[in-house]
C-alpha cells in the first residue's frame, strides 16, 4: 500500500477534517512521508482543505 493510500485511509477513518499531525498519529508514518503524500494527493485533487491547516478527502 502506498503512503498516499495510507494517508487517505487515515483521513476517512477520522471522519472529520484533520491536521497533518493527526494523520501522522493515525497512520503511523513519519511526518515527512505524510507531507509528501499529501502534496501528491493535492495535485491529484483527492483531498481538499475546508479551513486553514485542516484536510479531508474530496467528495
Q: What is the pTM of this model?
A: 0.89
Count of domains in the chain? 1
Report pLDDT for 12: 95
With contact defined as beta carbons under 8 Å apart, do 56 and 17 qualify?
Answer: yes
pLDDT tens string 2-59:
999 999 999 999 999 999 999 999 999 999 999 999 999 999 999 999 999 999 999 8
Determine how many CB atoms are found less than 10 A away from the CB of residue 56: 17
- Domain residue limits at 51: 3-57
| CA torsion, ordered 38, 20, 34, 43, to nearest 10 deg | 10
User: What's the CATH number where 52 sits?
Assistant: 1.10.10.10
> At residue 1, does pLDDT exceed 80?
no
Amino acid at each position: 500500500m502506498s503512503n498516499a493510500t495510507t494517508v487517505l485511509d487515515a483521513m476517512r477513518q477520522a471522519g472529520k477534517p484533520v491536521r497533518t499531525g493527526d494523520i501522522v498519529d493515525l497512520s503511523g508514518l513519519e511526518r515527512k512521508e505524510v507531507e509528501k503524500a499529501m502534496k501528491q494527493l493535492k495535485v491529484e485533487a483527492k483531498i481538499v482543505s475546508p479551513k486553514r491547516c485542516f484536510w479531508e478527502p474530496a467528495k
